[in-house]
Amino acid sequence: MREKISIIGAGNVGATTAQLCSTFGFGDVVLIDIAEGIAQGKALDIQQSLAILQKDCRIKGSADYADIKNSCIVVITAGFARKPGMTREDLIKANGEIIYDIAKKIPQYCPEAIVITVTNPMDVMTYLVQKVSQIPPTRVLGMGGILDSGRFKSFISNYLKISPDQIYALVIGMHGQTMVPLPRHSTVYGQPLPKIIPEEKIIDLTKRTVAGGAEIVGLLQTGSAYFAPAAAIVEMIQCILHEENKILPCSVYLQGEYNQKDIYLGAPVKLHSKGLEKIIELELTPQEIDAFRQSGDSVRSMISILQQSFFKSTENL
C-alpha cells in the first residue's frame, strides 16, 4: 500500500502542498475543506495535471473528515490568513476554534499519524493541537523554522549572488516577530556567515528575515505567502517518509531543552518515520539565549490568551 497524506485546508498553502506531494509521488493525497466543492475542485485539477505530467498518484478532495482515516501524515493548514497590519497574535481568536475542532477529529480517524501544524500563530496552534488531541508530542510538529531559515538563505543567496545549495542558514525560536536568526550557526560553503558578510549587512538580512512573511502580506494585500510555506511542509514530509536523517528547524515540544519547558518553539531536530527523534541543543551566546527566552515569553503570552478566550473551563491547557 502507498502512504496516505491528508491535508486539512484547501486554501493556497494546502492546495499547493497537495500538488507538490502528488507530483513528487510521496503517496496518495486527501485534501479536506469544510467548504463543499473547494477541495474536490482543486483535487480534480491537480489529478488532471498529474496525468499531463505522467505521474501515477491518486488525490481526493472531500469535506468529510472520515476520508483522512489511516493517514500516516496529517497537515493542518486550515484557518484564516493574516491581513495587512495583522500580527500572528491577532489570529489567536480567529483560528483557535478551528484548530480545536480539527484536533478533536484527528485521533478518531488516524491516531498513529504524525501531525504537522502550519496554521498561524503556528507555535501556539501546534501546542493546542497536541494538548487537545493528546497525540504524543513526538508526533505533533510545527512548520516554521524551515520557512524562516529558507527566507534567510534566500536573502543571503541573493546578496552574495551564489547558489543556495552552498548556504546553510538557521533560524530558531518562535515563528513570528521574536524568531531568532543565528548568523554564527549559518554558513556559506562551510564558513560562518560573519566571516563572509559585514555585520551591518547581516543585521539587514536578519531584519528582513524576521519581517519576511509581513513583507509578502503587504505586497499581496489580499493574502499571504504560500509557495515557500508549501515547500517547507514538503521538506518535512520528505524527511519523515524517506528517513533522510536531516537536521531541520521545526517547532517541537520542549521539556527543558534551551531552558524552556511545556512549550512549542523552533529548534534544530532530527526527524524519522515516527516523528521527532532528537532535539539538537546548540551552544548559544548570552545574547542568543536571551533572544530565545523572549521568543518563549511571546508564545507563553499567546497561550495565556488562548486559555482565557476559549478553554478556561473545557481543557487544561
SS (HEC) of the chain: CCCEEEEECCCHHHHHHHHHHHHCCCCEEEEECCCCCHHHHHHHHHHHHHHHHCCCCCEEEECCHHHHCCCCEEEECCCCCCCCCCCCCCHHHHHHHHHHHHHHHHHHHCCCCEEEECCCCHHHHHHHHHHHHCCCHHHEEECCHHHHHHHHHHHHHHHHCCCHHHEECCEEECCCCCCEECHHHCEECCEEHHHCCCHHHHHHHHHHHHCHHHHHHHHHCCCCCCHHHHHHHHHHHHHHHHCCCCEEEEEEEEECHHHCEEEEEEEEEEEECCEEEEECCCCCCHHHHHHHHHHHHHHHHHHHHHHHHHHCCCCCC
Whether the Cβ atoms of residue 264 and residue 126 lie closer than 8 Å to each other: yes
**Active site residues per annotation:** 175
Q: Whole-angstrom Cα distance, residue 27 to residue 199?
A: 45
Cβ partners under 8 Å of residue 287, min gap 6:
none
Amino acid occupying residue 71: S
Q: Whole-angstrom Cα distance, residue 227 to residue 1?
A: 29
Amino acid occupying residue 202: I
